[in-house]
Structure 1
Amino acid sequence: MKDLSELLPRDKHDFERVSNLKNINKKDLIKLIPELLEWLQDINWPIAVEITKLLLSVPQETIPYVRKVLEGGDDIWKEWCLRYFVMELPADLRQILQDELVRIAYKPSKGEQLEEVHITAREILNN
């Protein structure tokens, strides 16, 4: 059995490994979701948008991990997850995160207000 962590990007410019991840089977990709989601902590990292596309190929399986981010304290990470992942989901899958979106949109924490995460949550709710 191979160690799946060997497939993960090594740095923010590791497009080769990201490209290779597009060819692995979905079961293995799903096992890597938590580590891949960490690349959305800074959308300015060159591979971040490509990682988002990978996660959108397994949206239902990624949603529970995004929920944990939305319930956490990293407000910038919340913004990137909302803007680059949740906003791209079909409406029926966005509905799964409805409670988190409503809370952020209408009862944001101070940090969520500072980073304007509540504005992004409202955008998603209005689409």
Structure 2
Amino acid sequence: MKDYVPQNKFDEKAIACLQSLPFEAVRNDVWELLEWLQDMNWPVAYDVAVYLAPHVNEIKDDLIKIFNTDDTLWQMWIICGLIGRSPIKPDAELLTIIRRIAEHPTKIEIEEEVDLVAKDVLEQFGGGA
């Protein structure tokens, strides 16, 4: 068990530990951290997102795996809760995925309003929708 990976949605000790570590120390456990972004209403989710936000391009492969799932709510939280908080512009591959959602959303992406958050993030990073 890694002390910096939350064990429950109220695990503030894990968050404090996570925030004290450089990204390189947790890189191999990014997937476990991203799982906490499946619902940004969980108390630990915000802090995990803030911690990972500067590293969206470094964790691109993990984010693409999420975009390749059927979990549109998780994708929405990744777009608005993580990528939308990033102080750096997402790389071209991530922006292409977000643009596809914004411009050619599936029925479920429309129902879950993932297309709307995708448009907002594209606008934020100068990608236009």
TM range (shorter): 0.7 to 0.9
Equivalent residue pairs, number: 124
Is residue 13–residue 47 contact of structure 1 (8 Å, CA) maintained in 2?
A: yes
Are 2:101 and 1:120 equivalent residues in the alignment? no
**Aligned-pair RMSD on alpha carbons?**
1.8
Q: Structure 1: where are the runs of 5+ without partners?
A: none
Are 2:106 and 1:103 equivalent residues in the alignment? no
| Rounded Cα–Cα distance in structure 1 between residues aligned with 2:47 and 2:70 | 24
Aligned to 2:34: 37
Aligned to 1:21: 18
Aligned to 1:73: 70
Shift of 1:94: 4.8
Are 2:96 and 1:82 equivalent residues in the alignment? no
TM-score with structure 2 setting the length: 0.85
**Aligned-partner residue type, residue 23 of structure 2:** K
Is residue 39–residue 77 contact of structure 2 (8 Å, CA) maintained in 1?
A: yes
Shift of 1:19: 0.7
- Provide the secondary structure at the position in 2 that maps to 1:92: coil
**Aligned-partner residue type, residue 27 of structure 1:** E
Q: Deviations over 1:17-36 (max 9, x none)?
A: 11111122332211111000
1:64 pairs with one of 44, 58, 61: 61
2:49 pairs with one of 52, 58, 61: 52
Instruction: Give % identity.
Output: 28
- Provide the secondary structure at the position in 1 that maps to 2:57: helix
Q: Structure 2: where are the runs of 5+ without partners?
A: 125-129
- Provide the secondary structure at the position in 2 that maps to 1:24: coil
